[in-house]
Structure 1
């Protein structure tokens, strides 16, 4: 069987801040760690208060101790929730005095990182929290943002977006392994969309040939996985639609939606493309954002420094 993700054997890393959203992420991460035979590392970051704002040194020390005690309580609660979700999983914890996003990116180097869609200060609704948005946009390893509802059907699929890029190649590998571990089907979605076509030229185009080409592209990118995963049921969806719309439709009732962090374009330093951003903010199920191969530790250090400086 192929590797199920980066840093095989590394613990799954999950951010915990005490919010219900983060506890849902802890449950998801604990079950995932147990299914992969890995440990779970719970990280809670706190602090961020400038000590110069508190003139009295003794008052500052008491405040720091209160913060630390509260942070330890949050971490302990996360451990209890993890053991409820997956009693066999080995859980370690770490309390970090600092900002959450750079702390999580640092500790998730070459490992799967899991975060909730909202932080403790979140307002609810569909908008993703700043920590989840930041780590998904800058991580050089896979990130899962836990959002939406748990699937009720045992055969709820893993859905993966495929666009022919190296990023979607990595996403396919991640999705195939996730579906195999869950013993569920895999749905590969490939779309094409050209807004430059106008009503005059559209009837002149050979749509059958275009559809055949797009199906061939998807088949080529899926090729080779069946030998490693002979029991995996794979279905393909090829349609003319905007990728975000199609993926959101197919993700309803899914157990996981997997997308590449960048498709055919993107800006240097910001690793999350427009489709990935849309999924992280709007998907009805947990979303895995998988970067393309070649994002090494040097690039990871650069990104973490950039995030920490903000």
Structure 2
């Protein structure tokens, strides 16, 4: 779905603006249209909560017009700074997580900021973020504000991907390879492993399995610089550490150790909360 739009959760907050910036950069490389989605959530008793507007009785037409103007201006500003892109905005009604999950069925990618206010209050604080990433029908990119990350050259930082041989990780590998190739930056493939009784004797077998999974992408992107790192550490700790120097970390929704029926693995959840760069959680459609 390369022609499908990039959907961005937008509520006027600083973190949402960071997500918009990331989505615009992605669209610059991919050529996809971008849609800013404000989800207008309201409370039946106290009224709705929105940025810069006092709570009112629903339906509050003045408040809705303000929200529509907020989204219109954000889309217009994005178009002005990125004249080659198609950027639109739309206001939806309902619970933010549920609405975004539903809209993701028609999107090529869903991009979210780390926190929000108003209609997105608490959207990415804990379980709601996990719910969006677990149930969305397309890849979900969570863009954190980066306040706690180490300095990195955003133009050359690698795309990093966790690979454990599971089907979700193979899908994530393809997503990561495409992003790295588009940006002409290195692709770093990381495989966490636990040494057995033979210690490092199992390294060749582990590396051979990862290299085999990489072979189709080496043929597809022969100019792409790919490196494989085998690290004797927990997957989450390894990827969080790597995120300090990466421009994007990509993981599958579940790993090889996931329990049957789980929609999102613990590694994905920990990265959403603690990574120092944007995180892409990729599910099979």
Question: Which TM-score tier does this pair reach, normalised by the shorter chain?
Answer: 0.7 to 0.9
Matched, 1:137 2:134: yes
Cα distance in 2 between the residues matched to 1:128 and 1:283: 14
Q: CA deviation at 1:89?
A: 1.0
Contact kept, 8 Å, 1:14 with 1:43, in 2: the verdict is yes
**Residue matched to 1:239:** 231
Shift of 1:83: 2.8
Give the direction of change, closer, same or farther, for the CA distance of 1:109–1:284 in structure 2 (3 Å limit): same
For residue 262 of structure 1, what is the aligned residue in structure 2? 254
Partner of 2:164: 163
Deviations 1:72-130 (A, max 9, x none): 13312431452355332111211012111121122221521101011116899xx7466
Look up the match of 2:241: 249
Selected match of 1:35 from 20, 23, 29: 29
Question: Tell me, what secondary structure is at the counterpart of 1:257?
Answer: strand
Tell me the equivalent position of 1:184. 185
Residues in 1 aligned to 2:25 and 2:96: alpha-carbon distance in whole angstroms: 23
Q: Determine if the alignment matches structure 1 residue 280 to structure 2 residue 272.
A: yes
Do the aligned partners of 2:244 and 2:276 also contact (CA within 8 Å) in 1? yes
Partner residue in 1 for 2:220: 228
Please identify the structure whose Cα radius of gyration is greater: 1
User: Quick one: distance in 2 between partners of 1:79 and 1:255?
Assistant: 25
What's the secondary structure of 1:217's corresponding residue?
helix
8 Å Cα contact 1:15/1:22 also seen in 2: yes
What stretches of structure 1 move > 2 A for 4+ residues in a row? 51-54, 80-87, 121-124, 127-134, 148-154
**Aligned residue for 2:143?**
146
SS of corresponding position for 1:224: helix
**Structure 1 residue 44 corresponds to structure 2 residue 38:** yes
Alignment of 1:23 onto 2:17: yes
For 2:158 and 2:47, the matched residues in 1 are separated by 51
Q: Name the stretch that deviates more: 82-91 or 37-46.
A: 82-91
CA contact (8 A) 1:30 1:83 kept: no
| Gap regions ≥5 residues in structure 1 | 1-6, 195-201, 296-310
Q: Deviations over 1:118-158 (max 9, x none)?
A: 1116899xx74665333112223200001143842522100
Alignment match, 2:89: 93
Q: CA RMSD in A?
A: 2.5
Distance 2:68 2:104 in 1: 20
Considering Cα pairs closer than 8 Å and 6+ residues apart, tell me whether 1 or 2 has the greater RCO.
1
- Give the Cα–Cα distance (whole angstroms) in 2 for the partners of residues 114 and 123 of structure 1: 16
Q: 1:50 Cα deviation (Å)?
A: 1.5
What TM-score, normalized to structure 2?
Answer: 0.86
- The 1:231/1:152 distance shift into structure 2, 3 A limit, reads same
Q: CA deviation at 1:218?
A: 1.2
Note if contact 2:190-2:228 (Cα within 8 Å) is conserved in structure 1: yes
Which structure 2 residues correspond to residues 64-75 of structure 1 after superposition, within 5 A? Answer: 64-75=60-71
Q: Is the 8 A contact 1:128 1:280 kept in 2?
A: no
Unpaired runs of at least 5, structure 2: 49-55
1:117 aligns with 2:114: yes
